[in-house]
Amino acid sequence: MADRAEFMEKVRHRTRTGKYRPTHAPDVAWTREGAPPEREPIEDPPARFLEELEAVGGHGRRVRNITEARKYVLSLAREREAKLLLRWDVEELDRMKADVPLREAGVEVAVWNDDLADPKDVAARADIGLSTAAWAIAETGSLVLEGGPGRGRVVTLLPPCYVAVLYARKVLSTVPEAIGRYAEGGNVPANVCFHTGPSRSGDIEMTLAIGVHGPGDVHVLLVG
């Protein structure tokens, strides 16, 4: 744990504006003349997050409460004619109480936990993956996802449509701010991922493909 915390502190140091340069050699391309400009403050992080998410091809919406989030997920499942939804086994999604209305609509709901037989096969067959997120980052439209018990990574990667639900208060302004949360706390999870919009892959001919190495359809709901 101490080694991970030390690593995150080094990353935090290297992302501080104007505080770190890799070298003073004049022939290194990334060495700046003087300190880089300070970032302009983001006055409304949730609004900026939704704007940046849309810019990278994702879909974002601000909902007033968890009931509206449930209605959105149910409507999306119907629109996609989903047969199977796989979700994280976390308290936030338990409180959303979407399982019963989804099943009543003909959508099978699987929960990622120790009782799930052949979870990777279930993930590969799922039409929709549903999770929460530890944080969101306004300046890049990114989600910060922490793996762990009940929170399988493949839930966010294998289904072609992915939905994340989190409270608007968890939207941070910048990447360094997100890294700082882990560096300061010292309790770094074994798996932390930054996801930004739908999967994009480019081949040697510069042809862009969507959804090859991850979901091609990404939705984020900010609650509150």
| Domain edges within the chain | 43-223
- Residue 33 CA to residue 15 CA, distance in Å, equals 17
Structure confidence by residue, pLDDT tens digits, 190-202: 788 898 877 555 5
Q: Which of these, 215, 8, 55, lies nearest to 131 by C-alpha position? A: 215
The pLDDT assigned to 40 comes to 78
Task: State residue 203's pLDDT score.
Answer: 52
Q: What is the largest CA-CA distance in the chain?
A: 66
pLDDT for position 3: 67
The 10s digit of each residue's pLDDT in 152-177 is 999 999 999 999 999 999 999 999 99
Measured distance CA(95)–CA(67) in Å, rounded: 9
- Please tell me the predicted confidence (pLDDT) of residue 61: 96
What kind of architecture, by CATH, is found in domain 43-223? 3-Layer(aba) Sandwich (3.40)
pLDDT for position 113: 92
Residues of the chain with pLDDT under 70: 1-5, 8, 11-39, 185-186, 199-214
Q: What is the pLDDT of residues 4-23, one digit of tens each?
A: 667 767 766 666 655 555 55
**CA-to-CA separations, 141 to 60, 72, 120, 145, 204, in angstroms, rounded:** 10, 20, 28, 13, 27
Order of all β-strands in the sheet with 217-223? 59-63, 217-223, 161-167, 128-131, 84-88, 108-112
